[in-house]
Amino acid sequence: MIDIRVLVGDEWADWYALTPAERLAESAKLWETYLKLGGSLDPEPDPQSPFYDPEEWRAVATHGRPSVRVVRRSGV
């Protein structure tokens, strides 16, 4: 019998050894980290799509909320 670690390496073998529920929990942790590092769940524009409108698409602001604006009050 062939050892799985020989075929895929230690890291993937550890991943395959997890149950589906454990894999889901680990994936959720990865997504949380990705979002905290500034990642976005917004899809990239697809210029080959029939629904693509280059005038409508705009990059998301660095803070992730394009509709948020800074309001300054005098005397603060």
All structural domains of the chain with their residue ranges: 4-36
Residue 61 has, within 13 A of its CA and on its CB side, a CA count of 8
Own/partner pairs, 43-46, CB within 8 angstroms, 24+ separation:
none
| CA 21 from centroid of its chain's CA atoms | 20
Mean pLDDT of 43-60: 79
Return the structure tokens found at 31. 């997504």
Which pTM does this prediction carry? 0.52
Return the structure tokens found at 45. 């524009």
What is residue 17's three-state secondary structure? helix
pLDDT of residue 32: 94
- The Cα 13–Cα 56 span in angstroms is 45
pLDDT-based confidence at residue 24 (cuts at 50, 70, 90): very high
